[in-house]
């Protein structure tokens, strides 16, 4: 099994300089740690809790920045798509198209994304069981595209709370597709602050480590140099200055896990 | 308080004749029972569990049928929208635009729907708490549209199961907007049959009666003359021949509830 | 079907005078409303959240007070038992022995209670499904005792929260045994205040009415003349001065429900 | 931090020979792996799903067998207690008294157990949040006994299902008391087979590894040489012949975790 891939970046694109700063820092960290690195950032936050939440820089400008990250640093880039129309233009720039969890059953979006031929990272809906994912996969596969990643990002557990069921990771891996643990969204408290989501940033490394120990393919972590002042998802992002230690630690668990695979 | 409104029809449009048959039958039943009646049917099932599930007749043909129901029977009609682009054309025909539960936090869809000026019926996401709905409402209200209905359709409860929290009805009513109980989707078992959703049709009247007793504005019920052979949602639709008795029974509870309102 | 039975009283016994005051008031209310009345109070709160929570007056003194209520007012009385040893002495005084929800799978307690020949009211554990109850029933029936009541009191729903699944009422009724809705414990927020449980008193009438509309046999309501200063369960008890209106309202829904039974 | 402790044995005592066979085998495995070993078995299964489920050999006979395991193999032994009366006699033989999850809020049982001065392993109720445990701890501490272990064994998640929230482990560890992961009961499906509980034995190593990677003090695993024919909990016990590989694997993760502790 290949070493752990790290999908990381700020929740939303803020500026080219900001994206390049975070991407470069994460590249250095991952290179040193022996992890493959994919830069992640959103050009649009299409389902903010509140209508007054910042949406992001938009498709055109966002793709320009993602192209710059790709060109200057030679990194693969990932962003999320929300409509069928966004899929083709995003796929011209991005290596990985991500399907947001709330949209993980929207057939047309899955088909449009699949048809681009890009890698599709689909987040399991908070309302889905692990064994529901083969239906989601079949929608993408129906386009002939089998470059699929499956992301766990927590399951609804009462109100304003998510829980991560570790059994979901080997269950989804049994489909044959690589499994990603989204360690920062799984510690969100959706709507937990009234007009925005709360989060338990301190538990993201807990979830990440537990998942990596099970031998997953990749970990997804949102990071920011100043989470408390980030335009979105501040409560659950990990401060950038903590990422070096975190990635180093996760790689040690990854090596042990890959040498001793879980067999269901 | 006005008597109970009944929003009912087949899960998806099958043909003009089929729509007219169900609409006419429900109109007769509701007229006799003293209920206002809104015809409901979908032109597209955009988030079927499986890619091979039947999708429906599509926007153009669907709107033609809905227009026919409106014209021949003089009924208000409701259908659901899945993309921003669908909102304006649908609003030219339909009195009520419905936002599907999975899409209840998609800002652009809520704005596009609101901007049509039509009544917007937004279903509370399976992943939302009742007190999260003011954020959803504010998105619609930001367009100047305050013709809003709020629908309860169950909350994620473990895997492949929904539960209806009756407290949600008065809590949502406290926003001042009319509250609808979707009695048939709330007894779905999402993904419960592997490639499709299961359902507990026998409990839809249970949920409907409990909700109506709390004095809600409307009940939403999918019905079909032959649910076991319907193209979608068969396991939770109520057979058409049972609707007369059900509506009659609900109206008796509605009268009692409206005469003795719950005050939180 | 017989009219609704009301099981009501303070959470815990405080004094003979206090018990008699509440019992007499409830008796008057229920007589006027046409409901059968059973007095309920605990002599011991054996599972308080905190070790410093008030426990109650104890078995001996408690039974003396319950006997007094029985003798002076001619009322049937109910109390809960926590150990096998308590069952026989309690059954000498009480008409109904209640099994607490946490203890609803403790075989020896169910057997000891059943062996007394008294009516056994077993509360469904917060961790049980409605269809788990036949196993609980079979334990009691194995003693030859078939005088059994089944109480719904909410199901664990995330942390510190309960949800009442209305489907549980007809499901439990399908066993043939009378079903009771505990309207005040089902709106508890277990452990929700740190050192004690919170509650949502305002929703108890909501849950009670929804349940009664389904045609249940009895409703269970804790009440106190000054809930905010009661020794336990204050946040979810209904003020005594509100009981007359509540019982009157519930009886109207009960008459309608009994005339129009739900058939699964 | 000390290396991982392994608490393991059959669900229930079957005979002295059987207990000694499993204890001896586990002792050899743990010695070789560098783990401390505590033998676990129940003398009574007091809350079987069904009244016809096998209960076990009883207190007197059970204690005789546990004493034999202690004497012949020099092992510490753990068993669970269900009533106040059992605490003192059990504490004369056993090093650790275990409080079952359903009974984790029964004040008198916690006090009686604490008063013995033995180590108390209290399982977190399926209906409790991690932050509810300080109330449970305070009950035991009120006896002057601070030799306490806290066990995670899964939380109610919909019907007939448990989920393990990995955040609970560092949250409980923040109390200062050692945390145990019960890897076999947390994959139970309570009542899932109608008259008995189901289980997902294949996920026990998944849960165990994820938990051990977080640096917990101990893992609790039920094991049997022939789980499919064991008198109880067969569906979730791990076959004895798999324990050597499992313990070896867990110790490698334990060493890594203890060298790199999670800091909340």
Residues D213 and A166 sit within 8 Å (Cβ to Cβ): no
pLDDT at D53: 85
Cβ contact, residue pair A256, D260, below 8 Å: no
Residue C75 CB partners (closer than 8 Å, separation 6+)? C23, C27, C37, C38, C39, C69
- Burial (Cβ within 10 Å: 0-12, 13-18, ≥19) of residue A261: exposed
Cβ contact, residue pair A191, B128, below 8 Å: yes
pLDDT digits (tens, 9 = 90+) for D53-66: 888 899 999 999 99
Task: Name which of A83, A107, A132 is nearest B51 (Cβ-Cβ).
Answer: A107
Percent of chain C scoring above 70 in pLDDT? 100
Q: What is the predicted ipTM?
A: 0.96
CA atoms within 13 A on the CB side of C8: 35
Å from A72 to nearest chain D CA? 35
Å from B156 to nearest chain D CA? 9
pLDDT at D119: 98
Task: Name which of B157, B206, B252 is nearest C262 (Cβ-Cβ).
Answer: B206
Cβ contact, residue pair C253, B249, below 8 Å: no
Residues A156 and A188 sit within 8 Å (Cβ to Cβ): no
- Minimal Cα distance from B158: which residue of D? D158
Cβ contact, residue pair C132, D160, below 8 Å: yes
Phi, psi of B7 (to 5 degrees): -105, 115
pLDDT at B126: 97
Pairing of strands D77-80, D96-99: parallel
Closest CA to B220 of B23, B2, B8, B13: B8
Contact list in C for residue B157 (CB cut-off 8 A) is 157, 163, 165
- Minimal Cα distance from A154: which residue of B? B127
Residues D77 and D93 sit within 8 Å (Cβ to Cβ): yes
Closest CA to B218 of B123, B115, B114: B123
Q: What is the mean pLDDT of chain D?
A: 96
| Band (C100; pLDDT cuts 50, 70, 90) | very high
Å from B174 to nearest chain C CA? 13
Quote the tokens at residue D208: 């165990």
Residues D159 and C129 sit within 8 Å (Cβ to Cβ): yes
| Band (D24; pLDDT cuts 50, 70, 90) | very high
pLDDT at B264: 77
Contact list in B for residue D159 (CB cut-off 8 A) is 157-158, 161
pLDDT at D234: 86
Q: What's the average model confidence in pLDDT over A91-115?
A: 97
Quote the tokens at residue A96: 């990985």
Cα–Cα–Cα angle for C11, C14, C15, nearest 5°? 140
- Burial (Cβ within 10 Å: 0-12, 13-18, ≥19) of residue D201: buried
Closest CA to D191 of B189, C112, C138: C138
- Minimal Cα distance from A156: which residue of C? C158
Phi, psi of D129 (to 5 degrees): -90, 155
Task: State how far Cα B113 lies from the chain centre.
Answer: 16
Beta bridge partners of D36: D5
pLDDT at B193: 78
Task: Name which of B200, B214, B252 is nearest C206 (Cβ-Cβ).
Answer: B214
Residues of chain A whose beta carbon is less than 8 angstroms from a beta carbon of chain D are 155, 157, 163-167, 169-170, 187, 200, 202-203, 205-207, 209-214, 249, 252-253, 256, 260, 262, 264
C49 pLDDT more than 90: no
Task: Name which of D51, D108, D127 is nearest C142 (Cβ-Cβ).
Answer: D51
Quote the tokens at residue C170: 């007809």
Q: Which residue has the tokens 């909340």?
A: D264
Note the helical H segments in chain D. 16-33, 59-73, 84-93, 107-115, 133-141, 168-173, 204-212, 243-259
Quote the tokens at residue A171: 């269950």
pLDDT at A234: 86
Residues B113 and B141 sit within 8 Å (Cβ to Cβ): no
Beta bridge partners of A35: none
User: For chain C, how far is it from start to end, CA to CA, in angstroms?
Assistant: 17
DSSP state of A152: E
Pairing of strands B155-156, B188-189: unpaired
DSSP string computed for D12-42: B---HHHHHHHHHHHHHHHHHHT-EEEEE-B
> Following CA atoms A42, A201, A247, A54 in sequence, which dihedral angle do they give, to the nearest 10 degrees?
20
Task: Return the axis-axis angle of helices D243-259 and A243-259, rounded to nearest 10°.
Answer: 160
Find the helix or strand (DSSP H, E) in which B120 lies.
Answer: strand B119-123
Cβ contact, residue pair A128, B191, below 8 Å: yes
Pairing of strands A96-99, A238-239: unpaired
Cβ contact, residue pair B252, C264, below 8 Å: no
pLDDT at C61: 96
pLDDT at C264: 77
Name subunits touching D (3+ CB pairs < 8 A): A, B, C
If DSSP codes are grouped into helix, strand and coil, which group holds residue B22? helix
Measured CA to CA in angstroms, residue A73 lies from A77, A118, D174 at distances of 10, 20, 42
D131 pLDDT more than 90: yes
- Minimal Cα distance from A140: which residue of B? B51
Measured CA to CA in angstroms, residue C56 lies from A194, B78, C21, C28 at distances of 39, 57, 18, 26
D192 pLDDT more than 80: no
A19 pLDDT more than 80: yes
Tell me how far apart the alpha carbons of residues D43 and C229 are, in angstroms, rounded to a whole number: 44
pLDDT digits (tens, 9 = 90+) for A127-146: 999 999 999 999 999 999 99
- Minimal Cα distance from B53: which residue of A? A107
Which of A9-23, A27-41, D187-201 has the least mean pLDDT?
D187-201
Task: State how far Cα D115 lies from the chain centre.
Answer: 21
CB pairs under 8 A between B and D: 11
Tell me how far apart the alpha carbons of residues C98 and C81 are, in angstroms, rounded to a whole number: 6
Beta bridge partners of C120: C97, C148
Task: Name which of A202, A207, A212 is nearest D264 (Cβ-Cβ).
Answer: A202
Q: What's the average model confidence in pLDDT over C182-201?
A: 88
Measured CA to CA in angstroms, residue D2 lies from A196, D34, D96, D259 at distances of 42, 10, 18, 11
pLDDT digits (tens, 9 = 90+) for D96-107: 999 999 999 999
pLDDT digits (tens, 9 = 90+) for A68-86: 999 999 999 999 999 999 9
Q: Pick the residue with more confidence: D54 or D174?
A: D174
Contact list in D for residue B161 (CB cut-off 8 A) is 158-159
For the beta carbon of residue C20, count every other beta carbon within 10 angstroms: 16
pLDDT at B198: 84
Closest CA to B206 of C207, C261, C182: C261
Cβ contact, residue pair D206, A262, below 8 Å: yes
Residues C232 and C54 sit within 8 Å (Cβ to Cβ): yes
D164 pLDDT more than 90: yes
Q: What's the average model confidence in pLDDT over C169-180?
A: 97
Tell me how far apart the alpha carbons of residues B76 and B90 are, in angstroms, rounded to a whole number: 13
Pairing of strands D218-224, D148-152: unpaired
Q: Pick the residue with more confidence: A193 or C200?
A: C200
Tell me how far apart the alpha carbons of residues A146 and D30 are, in angstroms, rounded to a whole number: 44
Q: B interface mutation test: which of A80, A85, A156 has the most B CBs within 10 A?
A: A156
Q: What is the mean pLDDT of chain C?
A: 96
Q: B interface mutation test: which of C162, C167, C211, C216 has the most B CBs within 10 A?
A: C167
Tell me how far apart the alpha carbons of residues B97 and D78 are, in angstroms, rounded to a whole number: 62
Closest CA to B114 of B134, B132, B133, B136: B136
| Band (C263; pLDDT cuts 50, 70, 90) | confident
A54 pLDDT more than 90: no
Residue C17 CB partners (closer than 8 Å, separation 6+)? none
Task: Name which of D105, D129, D194 is nearest C47 (Cβ-Cβ).
Answer: D105
Cβ contact, residue pair A159, C158, below 8 Å: yes
| Band (C256; pLDDT cuts 50, 70, 90) | very high
| Residue A12, phi-psi category: left (phi > 0), alpha (psi -120 to 50), beta (remainder) | beta
| Band (A227; pLDDT cuts 50, 70, 90) | very high
Å from A66 to nearest chain B CA? 23
C192 pLDDT more than 90: no
Q: A interface mutation test: which of D168, D188, D206 has the most A CBs within 10 A?
A: D206
Tell me how far apart the alpha carbons of residues A109 and A105 are, in angstroms, rounded to a whole number: 9
- Minimal Cα distance from C161: which residue of A? A158
Tell me how far apart the alpha carbons of residues A32 and D248 are, in angstroms, rounded to a whole number: 30
pLDDT at A53: 85
A198 pLDDT more than 90: no
Cβ contact, residue pair D51, C125, below 8 Å: no
Tell me how far apart the alpha carbons of residues B110 and B113 are, in angstroms, rounded to a whole number: 5
Contact list in B for residue A107 (CB cut-off 8 A) is 46-48, 51, 55
Measured CA to CA in angstroms, residue A161 lies from A156, A183, B162, C160 at distances of 6, 15, 16, 11
Q: What's the average model confidence in pLDDT over A151-169?
A: 98
pLDDT at C99: 98
pLDDT digits (tens, 9 = 90+) for D249-261: 999 999 999 999 9
Pairing of strands B36-40, C148-152: unpaired
Contact list in D for residue B203 (CB cut-off 8 A) is none
Phi, psi of A114 (to 5 degrees): -60, -40
Tell me how far apart the alpha carbons of residues D135 and B139 are, in angstroms, rounded to a whole number: 42
Cβ contact, residue pair C169, B206, below 8 Å: yes
pLDDT tens per residue, chain B (264 residues)? 899 999 999 999 999 999 999 999 999 999 999 999 999 999 998 888 888 888 889 999 999 999 999 999 999 999 999 999 999 999 999 999 999 999 999 999 999 999 999 999 999 999 999 999 999 999 999 999 999 999 999 999 999 999 999 999 999 999 999 999 999 999 999 987 788 888 899 999 999 999 999 999 999 999 999 999 999 888 889 999 999 999 999 999 999 999 999 987
D232 pLDDT more than 90: no
| Band (C46; pLDDT cuts 50, 70, 90) | confident
| Band (C94; pLDDT cuts 50, 70, 90) | very high
CB pairs under 8 A between A and C: 11
pLDDT at D54: 87
pLDDT at B54: 87
Tell me how far apart the alpha carbons of residues A28 and D121 are, in angstroms, rounded to a whole number: 46
Closest CA to A138 of A115, A158, A111, A116: A111
Å from B215 to nearest chain A CA? 24
Contact list in A for residue C159 (CB cut-off 8 A) is 157-158, 161
Q: What's the average model confidence in pLDDT over A240-253?
A: 98
pLDDT at B52: 86
Cβ contact, residue pair C51, D139, below 8 Å: yes
Cβ contact, residue pair B165, C170, below 8 Å: no
Tell me how far apart the alpha carbons of residues D126 and D104 are, in angstroms, rounded to a whole number: 9
């Amino acid at each position: 099994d290949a070493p752990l891939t790290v999908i990381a970046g700020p929740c939303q694109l803020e500026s080219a300089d900001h994206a390049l700063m975070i991407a470069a820092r994460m590249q250095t960290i991952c290179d040193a740690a022996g992890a493959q690195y994919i830069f992640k950032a959103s050009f649009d936050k299409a389902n903010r809790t509140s209508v007054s939440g910042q949406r992001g820089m938009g498709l055109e400008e966002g793709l320009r920045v993602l192209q710059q990250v790709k060109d200057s640093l030679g990194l693969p880039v990932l962003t999320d798509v929300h409509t069928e129309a966004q899929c083709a233009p995003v796929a011209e720039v991005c290596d990985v198209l991500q399907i947001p969890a709330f949209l993980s059953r929207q057939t047309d979006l899955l088909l449009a994304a699949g048809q681009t031929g890009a890698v599709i990272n689909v987040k399991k809906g908070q309302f889905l069981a692990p064994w529901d994912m083969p239906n989601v996969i079949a929608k993408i596969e129906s386009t002939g595209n089998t470059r699929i990643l499956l992301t766990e990002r927590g399951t609804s557990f009462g109100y304003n709370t998510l829980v991560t069921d570790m059994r979901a990771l080997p269950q989804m891996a049994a489909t044959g597709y690589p499994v990603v643990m989204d360690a920062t969204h799984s510690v969100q408290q959706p709507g937990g602050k009234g007009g925005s989501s709360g989060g338990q940033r301190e538990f993201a490394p807990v979830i990440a480590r537990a998942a990596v120990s099970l031998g997953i393919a990749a970990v997804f972590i949102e990071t920011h140099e100043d989470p408390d002042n980030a335009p979105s998802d501040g409560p659950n992002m990990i401060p950038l200055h903590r990422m070096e230690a975190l990635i180093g630690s996760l790689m040690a668990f990854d090596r042990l896990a890959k040498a001793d695979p879980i067999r269901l």
